Amino acid sequence: MSEDLDFEINTHCLICGSPNQRILGRRGNREFMNAPETTIHLSTNIVQCRECSFIYCNPRILDAENLEKEHYNNPISYLASESTLVEQAFTDGFATLIKYKKVGKLLDVGAGKGEFLSFAKRQGFLVNGIEPSPLFCDYAESELGIQIFCGELISFKKSIPLGSSYDVVTLFHVLEHVKDPASILSELVSILSSGSILYIEVPNADATLLKIVDIFYRIIRKGWSSRLSPVHPPFHSIGYTKKSLKLLLKNTGFEIIEIGTFTGKNRGHQVKGRFTGFSSILRSFVVKTIGLFPNKELIGTVVRLRN
């Protein structure tokens, strides 16, 4: 481990509070394929809660969020999708949510560069978004004509009329980046009505693809785990399974209408140009092939407030 950042022992599960955990392997900025060149080596254990199956780092890398700021504040290098048709990154999620709400007021929390908002607007929704990155907000306005509130959820709620609510709230790949997911979900309660839906999409840290990769690492005697990526893109320090996500939603006052998994082959989250040539072709082939199996790479769920 590097002395440049501090570490903290992470004894209890963030979702259920259990101290009962098992080590899945090591993960760092050298413990994975096609690692970026760096002189600083950071790594930690990837562990899984034996009670609720939530996956997290132990020890926790303090201030690890500073490592991802450049990646998630650069509208040129950050890719929401590896396809030129960026909407493909949101196809499965949008198809799921419109089964329950086809029109209405939509709020996208963690709106990024505004690509989903632009897509939803073209489908007839009245859209608003929240995004902490000023450069992403500027990009959304200048390139897509979408105005996004630049700041945090708490500040946004203070800026809107008391009692305002949304028919649809979306969280595309947000909950795997926050320190306190329960707090974020609790903040949303006041802007959801009894008829509103919340759509959440997160990586599936228990996907078949990741399990196969971990088996491969064991075969070549590396002792690594592919489940999280705390110090390289996409900078995930926590990871959900369907079981742990269900428990988080139950604990924060939501009931699940629908939950399922789907392929992540259209999802970007990489730095532009990282996978090129043969490595890009191989990666695409592997993801598409394993995407044919159940328990795919992304979890999507539609929920509503519990009565």
Q: What is the pLDDT of residues 243-273, one digit of tens each?
A: 999 999 999 999 999 999 998 876 654 444 4
Residue of higher predicted confidence among 307 and 299: 299
Lowest mean pLDDT among 55-59, 253-257, 276-280: 276-280
pLDDT of residue 4: 59
Q: Which amino acid is at 107?
A: L
Q: Where are the domains of the chain?
A: 7-305
> Is domain 7-305 classified as CATH 3.30.1330.10?
no
Residues in a beta bridge with 126: 105
Residue 275 has pLDDT above 50, yes or no: no
pLDDT per residue over 21-42, tens digit each? 999 999 988 877 666 666 677 8
pLDDT per residue over 204-218, tens digit each? 999 998 999 999 999
Lowest mean pLDDT among 20-34, 134-148, 159-173: 20-34
How far apart are alpha carbons 93 and 158 in whole angstroms? 28
Segment 58-79 shows an average pLDDT of 75
| Structure tokens belonging to residue 269 | 């989250």
The overall average pLDDT reported for the chain is 87
pLDDT of residue 283: 55
Could you tell me the CA-to-CA distances from 23 to 19, 176, 200, 246 in Å, in that order?
Answer: 12, 19, 27, 22
Lowest mean pLDDT among 16-25, 86-95, 106-115, 144-153: 86-95
**Global confidence as pTM:** 0.89
Lowest mean pLDDT among 37-46, 111-120, 158-167, 248-257: 37-46
Residue 290 has pLDDT above 90, yes or no: no
pLDDT of residue 122: 95
pLDDT per residue over 193-207, tens digit each? 999 999 999 999 999
